[in-house]
Chains A and B, each alone.
Chain A
Amino acid sequence: MNILYYCWNEHSYHDMSETLIEMGHQVVTIRYNLSDYFNDAIFEEQLYTLMKQNDFSFLFSFNFFPVLSKVANDCQIPYVCWVYDCPHATLYSKELINPYNFIFHFDRSMVQHCKNLGAKHIFHLPLATNTKRLTEYLNISPTMSTTAFANVKYFHDISFVGSLYENCIYNGLYYMPIDTLGFLDGAIAAQKTIWGVNLITSTITNDVEQTFFRHVKFYNNKDLDYPTRELMTNLLFAKITSDERIEYLKALSLKYSCTVFSDSDVEKLCPSAAFGGYIDYQTTMPDVFRHSKINLNITLRSITSGIPLRCIDILGSGGFLLSNYQPELNEFFSEGTDFVCYHSKEEMLQLADYYLRHEEERKKIAHNGYIHACEQFPYNVQVQTILDTVSYYYK
């Protein structure tokens, strides 16, 4: 196949394009800084000409760009995209329902949501690990012996890679009536007690929502029909995630050696943790995962069911994963065998303590998790699913 690939300097560009090429396809890459995800006349014209003059099987991008969808639809060529962000506002654009879209989304609940919004070809597809790259880079392989796999030198006890979202919009709210603030505090406190379920959307009442938006003004994008309840939920989710990450990491780092790799101000927000700086996805992150005794996942709350990329990356790098309960993680991997799962801060602390002291069990679990990630979600398998699905609908 001949594939036109729109690259926006996403982390996964190399993994995806190399996989396609290895599978025997031609990849033509275009790079362009979109001024606007919905309309960009110059880009649209160039893309249109390029697609008309060449015989592409489809246009591909990570995440959904309405402007790409529009041009592909005009050219009657499939636009294939693989969404790995949640929330992903562009899914609320009117281009979502274009018949030439083939949208693959890592989160099953969002797939259903987009179907309800009228998306025609939308499929659930968990994210992938590039076994080949990580095999070469980390010198591990799915076929190596347990002993060889267990022979690892540790640089860190507990690691966490990710943002602390201290600049989330909720933290910058200028004014909110005190009863509304109380209500939202209550809703946030309740959501914090439960993982894997969205309590916020249905807890918010119409009154609270209206009051909220009377005091918070958002730039209204005419190309986007982002439901206000959804928007509000995601603002609260970012706030909850920020609180939780800081709170969990503080509690962990008071007892254990804990390193946080982040673009956030870790030294200020969580002074008891070691600050690892911002690390590169391809060159440093796999090392961190492989050489930490425990890798922590604290899911961004807007991801209500899917497996966050961090988890796939940890498992695919042969790291031991300690994660909050997350529906699809618990569906595709076996808790206690492939990874370890907590439902509260207290349980996370207990499990961290246990697995720091039980090295053999920990290594066995990391090994199982690695093998199952390589079996279930290697890039070539996931990409083949995409190609088969598109071929089935569009011959």
Chain B
Amino acid sequence: MNILFYRYGSICEPDIIEAFKTLGHHVEEICEEITNKSLSSQEAILIVNKHLQMYPADCIFTINFFPFLAEICNIYHIRYLSWIVDAPVMELYSTSITRPWNRVFLFDYALYQEFSPLSPDCIFHLPLAANVRGKDTLLNTISDSERKKFACQISFVGSLYTEKCPYDKLTGASPFLTGYLDGIMNAQMQVYGYYFIEELLKDSMVEEFKNHLPGFYEYPAESYLTDKITMSQLYIGNKITALERIETMKRLSEHFDTTIYTGSDTSSLPKLKNKGFAKSLTEMPIIFHESKINLNTTSKPIRSGLPQRIWDILGSGGFVLSNYQPEIPELLEIGTHLVVYESLDDLIEKCRYYLSHEKDRQEIAHCGYEEVKKHHTFELRIEQLLKLAFQ
């Protein structure tokens, strides 16, 4: 099959291209948007159009969802395969989501429940996966000194969300509203696996919030997006993630030797070692392999699913200590393949235990690796994706 892969620079892209090729498909790539972030949809349409005329494709594939590609595929009558790997993805709310040539795969079951009623035959739930072979190849060739460079007790790879927190633009809202939002956000931070913010927002609160947040996000074209969803997921969801990650890193770094790989500012956390950005293909697998404990704190807009980080850590043979997410027990065995925490106190306790029980830790990391290698590789998922898309 000829697949046109429209790329924008997601870290999953190389792994998925490799999986397509391993399965015997031909992949053409359009990479313009990776380097040119100000590319308009009009320009992109021209590029894709031209490409399709020169190299006819059986389908277009993207990570996440591009409404203009849904429209192009609808004209060409070829399938548009989109795999959502993050949340929130505001483009999903575009009315282009209902085009009959779409085949949209959502990694998060809560998202699936939200969207599948819009186009039940074309929207599917598909968890993420890992490229185990790629990581094996890298880990087999690195030197001891390189291993040592990344060895640490507890590490976390990811943003603190402090720099991507549009909530902080809120100015001049009533003390009652800001108090109320502080109250529900604090409460939400105590709960893993159930996101209740949206049901606690009254219409009048959404209205007031919107009026006091300059540049409140509105979808640029026709969409199913409501202000309540935007407020709950884009603004509050990311704000809670920021609060939660800072608090988590603060508690962890006060108790243990803790390292973070991030572009975020960590100056408010003096005990946290910040080693800057990690390169996803050449460094991340080594970090995961060489950390005694790899932390996963899922960002709050991911309501039920497993983020890419969990799969990448497991696929690198690393030990995962993750917050509880409802889909974890559906896909992996808690306590056998990975360990989950249910509160910050629980996290501290589990870090203490697993730092001092090396055998338990190694056993779990090993079982997790074998499980992912057997059942959760990108090849297996892509096979399933294509089967669902062309059935």
Contacts and interface: CB of A to CB of B under 8 A. Distances in A.
A184 B179 CA distance: 8
Contact of A182 (B179, B187, B190, B196): B179
B188 A182 contact: no
A191 B182 CA distance: 14
B177 interface: yes
Nearest to A201: B190
Contacts of B171: none
Contacts of B200: 186, 189-190, 193
A191 B194 CA distance: 12
Contacts, number: 78
A304 to B, nearest CB: 13
A189 B184 contact: yes
Given A178-B174, A190-B196, A185 B183 contact: yes
B190 A179 contact: no
A179 B179 CA distance: 4
A180 B178 CA distance: 10
Given A177-B175, A189-B200, A182 B186 contact: no
B186 A181 contact: no
B191 interface: yes
A contacts with B: majority SS:
helix
A202 interface: yes
A18 B29 CA distance: 85
B174 A203 contact: no
Interface in B143-183: 174-183
A186 B183 contact: yes
Contact of B187 (A177, A178, A179, A186): A186
Given A179-B178, A181-B179, A194 B186 contact: no
Contacts of A181: 176, 179
A134 interface: no
A191 to B, nearest CB: 7
A203 B196 CA distance: 14
A150 B176 CA distance: 54
Interface residues of B, number: 21
A247 B181 CA distance: 23
Given A186-B200, A190-B200, A193-B199, A180 B179 contact: yes
Nearest to A189: B200
Given A178-B176, A182-B175, A202 B183 contact: no
Given A187-B186, A190-B188, A205-B186, A182 B194 contact: no
A155 interface: no
A194 B200 CA distance: 12
A8 interface: no
A281 to B, nearest CB: 36
A186 B182 contact: yes
Contacts of B188: 190
Nearest to B174: A178
B176 A203 contact: no
Contact of B186 (A177, A188, A197, A203): A203
B183 A178 contact: no
A178 B174 CA distance: 9
Contacts of B181: 182, 186
A182 B176 contact: yes
Nearest to B200: A189
A193 B186 contact: no
Contact of A183 (B174, B180, B199): B180
Contacts of A199: 187, 190-191
Given A182-B183, A189-B200, A199-B187, A194 B194 contact: yes
Contacts of A182: 174-183
B175 A178 contact: yes
A183 B179 contact: yes
A177 B179 CA distance: 10
Indicate the member of B175, B182, B188, B196 with the most A CB atoms within 10 Å.
B182
Interface string A193-211: 1100101001111000000
A204 B190 CA distance: 11
B175 A179 contact: yes
Contacts of A194: 191, 194, 196
A208 B194 CA distance: 25
A102 B242 CA distance: 47
B184 A186 contact: yes
Indicate the member of B174, B179, B194, B196 with the most A CB atoms within 10 Å.
B179
A178 B194 CA distance: 28
Contacts of A188: 183
B21 to A, nearest CB: 47
B141 to A, nearest CB: 47
Interface in B191-219: 191, 194, 196, 199-200
B179 A203 contact: no
B200 to A, nearest CB: 5
Nearest to B345: A202
Interface string A245-285: 00000000000000000000000000000000000000000
Nearest to B183: A186
Contacts of B190: 199, 202-203
B183 A183 contact: yes
Contacts of B177: 182
A186 B180 CA distance: 4
Indicate the member of B176, B181, B183, B199 with the most A CB atoms within 10 Å.
B183
A183 B179 CA distance: 4
A183 B182 contact: yes
B228 to A, nearest CB: 15
Indicate the member of A182, A186, A204 with the most B CB atoms within 10 Å.
A186
Contacts of A191: 187
A204 B186 CA distance: 8
Nearest to A192: B200
B348 to A, nearest CB: 14
A203 B179 CA distance: 12
B171 to A, nearest CB: 15
26 contacts: A177-B175, A178-B175, A178-B179, A179-B179, A182-B175, A182-B177, A182-B179, A182-B181, A183-B179, A184-B183, A186-B179, A186-B182, A186-B184, A189-B183, A190-B188, A190-B196, A190-B200, A191-B187, A193-B194, A194-B194, A197-B191, A199-B187, A203-B183, A203-B186, A203-B190, A204-B186
Given A181-B179, A185-B179, 16 more contacts: A178-B176, A179-B182, A182-B176, A182-B180, A183-B180, A185-B180, A186-B183, A186-B185, A186-B187, A187-B184, A187-B186, A189-B184, A190-B200, A197-B191, A203-B190, A205-B186
User: 10 closest pairs, A vs B, by CB?
Assistant: A186-B183, A182-B179, A190-B187, A179-B179, A179-B175, A182-B176, A182-B180, A183-B183, A183-B179, A186-B184
